[in-house]
Every structure is written in C-alpha cells, then in structure tokens.
Amino acid sequence: MSEQTTHATGAPVRIFDTTLRDGEQAPGISLDVKEKLEIAEQLGRLGVDIIEGGFPITSQGDFDAVKAIAETVGAQPLAQGADQPPVIAALARCHPDDIKRAADAVGPAQHGRIHVFLSTSEIHRHVLHHGASEDEIVAQAVEGIQRAREFTDDVEFSPQDATRTDDEFLKRIVDAAVEAGATTVNIPDTVGYAIPHDFGATIGDIVRRVGPEVAVSVHCHNDLGLAVANSIEAVRHGATQVEVAVNGIGERAGNCSLEEVVMALATREDVLGRRSRVRTREIGRASRLVSTLTGYPVQFNKAVVGKNAFAHESGIHQHGVLQDRLTYEIMSAEDVGLEGRQIVLGKHSGRHAFSAQLEEMGYDLTAEETKRAFERFKELADKKVEVTDADLEALVADEVFAYTEEAFELDRLEVTGGTVSQPEATVVVRRTADASIHEETATGDGMVDAACGAIRQAVRPWVGATPTLVNFNVAAVTKGIDALGDVTVQVEVDDQRYTGRAVSTDVVEASARAFLAALNKSMRLQRARDDAARSPMDTP
C-alpha cells in the first residue's frame, strides 16, 4: 500500500488528536510544557487536522502549553505537503472564565478552536450539575457556544455522556447547539457504553439532522474495547471527524487509538470510501515518542505499533511471509514508519555524526541539549557495541526532555550484596539549585529497593515528604544482552502520583534515575502550583 495512493469517494475524515488533553488524563501522566510541545510538533509532522492541546483553565501549566503549541505548531505547516498548520483547540466548560481562558490560549494560532462541553445524561446532570433540568442545560450550552463565538468562528460542542442521554433530549440539544453557532457537533461515548450498530444509527440520524454545513464528530472511549469499531461505524454513517489519542491512551481503558483508525481507513478504503490526511509513515515515531514521554509502554500485541504487530513466530506464517508478505500482512511495517535503517554509532563516533543523526531523526536540540545528550551517548557507547535509533530516542528523551535546572542529580550509586546477602545501596544526590549534596545508605529486599530507599532518605530534607514507589516497569529498548534497560516508575508524594523514566544498560542505575526523575517532577509541579497560588490567573 502506497501512502500517496488514494481512491476515496468521500472527503477525508478529519483527525482530531486529543493525546495532550484526554490522553494526559490517564493516571500517572503529567507532561510539562516542553514535553507537550515536543509531542505537538510530531503531531504536526504526522498531519493531524486538529490538535487539542489541553484544558487551559485547569492550571497555569496547561494554559502555557496550549499557548506555546498555538504559537509554534499552530503558526506554520509541519507536515510535508500541507498547505496550512493544524487547528489548535482548547477545552472549556460552558462557563465564561473557561471560555476566555481557552480563547487566550489558542489566540496565537492561525486557526484556533474552542471546544465547549456540558453533561447531558440524566446521571451526569444529577451528579455533576446538581440536578439541572433539560431546559437549564440547553440554556447553558447555548450561552457557552454564543460566548465562544465572540472569540472564534470555529466552535465545537460536546454533550458529555451522549450515548446514555435520552434520544429526544440529545436531538434537542444538538439542534440548539447548531442554532447557537456550533460549527462542529461532537457525540462522545464518554464511558465506552456504545455498541457499533446502535452508535452508527445514532450518528446517521444526527448527520441527516444537522446537514452538510456542520461537522459531525465522534469521541469514543474503550471501556468495552469498542472505541475503534464504534468510530469506524460512525464514519460509515457519515461522521466527518474522529477524535483519537496516540496509542489509545486516556481515562480508564483509554481513547480511540489514532493509529488503528487511520490504518483502518487506509487499509479498507475499498469498503469505507474515506481516508485521512495523516502521513502514516510518521505513526511509528509518534507512538514511540508518546510512550517515552508519558511512561506508558505499548503492549507487545498492540495493533499497528506493537512490538509483535509485524512479527511472525509460526513456521507456516514465516513461510508464507517469506514467499509473499501479503500472505499474512494486510499492511507493511514501512507503511507506519516502523522500518528504517538502523544507524551504527559507536564509541569512535564524533559529535558531528551524532548531531547529524539526531537531525535526520527529526530532533531540533539546542547546543546545550546536544552537549548533554552527546555526553550520555559516549557513556552508553562504552558499554554497547552499537547504538541504534531506538537507543538514541530513549537517550534523548531521558537526558533532554527530563532535564530541568531544579533537578536532583545522582552523583554516585554503589550497590553491594544480592542473592546471598541483603542488598545495600549507597547514593550521593546533588541538588543543582544550590549544589548541596546528601549521602545515604539503605538496605532493601532487592538491589532496586535498596537504591530507591537510599534516594528516598537522601532527598527527604528537600522533598519534605516520604515518596513511595507504587509502580515499576522495565523493558529492553533493543535486543541483545547489552540492550538499554528502559525503566518507568510511578512515585506517590503527598497522595499525588508522578511518573519517572530513565534508561541505562544497568537496570539498577536506570531504576534509581527513574525514581529521582519522578521526584524531580513532583518538586517542579509543586513549585508551579505554589506559583499559581501566589499569582492567581487573570480571568474575568
């Protein structure tokens, strides 16, 4: 299948990406402005039509991230062949403060959208809107849409929990939203309740109801594992926009998966007659980047981007694929950007070759970021014979995206003991803000436990709380006994969870660095909350 080949009979389906808003709401994910911007830039290269950058009223950090995305990704096209940048959207409740804050955030974009929502199902109205009547909800929706139209002519309205909303009331509020000026009506399956047959029929009714001048969107959750199926059925019944997240991340069981919807449209264009504008060869990199920065690993058997998506173990399957790939593959790894030359960088490689490879991979680092990444690369090259693209992506994410001026640094880690004697770890942790250091020693049930225990004791004077390791995951970045160990942890501090990630050929070292990275994030976000409390957001 060629990425450029198209025989679609209908207009392309618009891809509305909510990785940075709904996707970030997955437990344990907390992206800072720099990380959000990096993902947004890749979404721009991917060619999605709309990027929902966040929910600006929720925090100063979310506002800053949406505004930064609007100023950069929303200012010029990043996708090859695109004639305009993606629309930058921000979420808002039907409340004046929310809408003004969203408008200010997306204002710098060439095309900004305000996405307003209001709950409409009986249970949501009772619990979230203090028992508001249908008339009151309609009035609030109309007022919110009209206020949003004061700032932009691109307004999307979502009746939250639409699939559990009374059919007649859903039709009524859709009609009211369109009359009030909504240019896109989104029908969210907020709790993953829908079944494809019924959902498709509902969407078909709404498409006929609003006419061709209003876009009909769907936003499906995966609680029953049907998010992609429901979205495709909606497209089959006339939906013109699908809301997705990279790797399907999001609340509970997650959102409709970008890569699965896009490749379903591309692969079964013969049946659906529709496809998207997404540059499918950028999908693999988008998946890896989101996984790296969120700390959410991609399951091996994940459709399209999983490690085993194009792997064949059965002898019969191997024989068939060797004779003709189409025997057992309906798409190729190359279609989604999972092929590619594996570079051979080693300890003799210089800064120029290193920098050139990063540029070829799409990274635009500052001189200081390149310097730090190169230093980590040389350390790694002394331990590995070859350093691959995947190693470099993991290294850059670990060294550059996780770096902050306020970060704690691990100056020294020594671990003794093991299977015979109880493991003991000694660490020296430095705080870069004032160069003060703490050295501590701790024992544990294993080497990782001992290392994290020693760090916990060392940072206690700075953190002021007892951080607890609640989740731990380790995976190999590449194959071989010298593979990088990619460790992701979740650490709880004051009832809040923070994700940390690090890579090293030594799993214990990677675990210690990941634990420290999570603590860095907790301190950084606490500082942001304190700053916001001292300087309240300027809203009307």
Q: What is the mean pLDDT of the chain?
A: 87
Task: Note whether 81 and 148 are same-domain residues.
Answer: yes
State how far the Cα of 297 lies from the Cα of 281, in Å rounded to an integer.
Answer: 20
Q: Is residue 358 part of a domain?
A: yes
DSSP track, 480-539: STTPPEEEEEEEEETTEEEEEEEEESSHHHHHHHHHHHHHHHHHHHHHHHHHHHHS----
Percent of the chain with pLDDT over 90: 56
Rounded to an integer, what distance in angstroms lies between the CA atom of residue 482 and that of residue 480? Answer: 5
| 255 annotated binding-site participant | yes
User: Distance (Å, rounded) from C-alpha 228 to C-alpha 237?
Assistant: 14
197 is in an annotated binding site: no
Residue 67 is assigned to a structural domain of this protein: yes
* Distance in angstroms (rounded) separating the CA atoms of residues 100 and 538: 10
The answer to the question of residue 9 being in a domain is no
Q: What is the pLDDT of residues 65-120, one digit of tens each?
A: 999 999 999 999 988 888 899 999 999 999 999 999 999 999 999 999 999 999 99
CATH number for the domain that contains residue 280: 3.20.20.70
Residues 299-324: pLDDT tens digits? 989 999 988 887 765 556 656 756 77
Q: Is 221 annotated as a binding residue?
A: yes
d(CA 190, CA 160): 6
* More confident call, 457 vs 205: 205
Instruction: Report the candidate in 36, 363, 452 with the shortest Cα–Cα distance to residue 377.
Output: 363
Quickly list H helices, 22-133.
Answer: 33-46, 60-72, 96-106, 122-128
Joined together, the tokens standing for residue 468 give 């607890």
Say yes or no: 241 and 363 in one domain: no
Residue 2 included in any domain: no
Tell me which residue range forms the domain holding 429: 408-531
Integer CA distances (angstroms), 298 to 248, 290, 305, in order: 10, 10, 8
Of residues 106, 105, 109, 185, the one with CA closest to residue 141? 185
**Is the separation of the CB atoms in 159 and 122 below 8 Å?**
no
394/426 same-domain check: no
- Annotated ligand binding at 219? The verdict is yes
* Residue-wise pLDDT tens digits, 1-26: 334 333 345 799 999 999 999 999 99
Question: Does 164 share its domain with 99?
Answer: yes
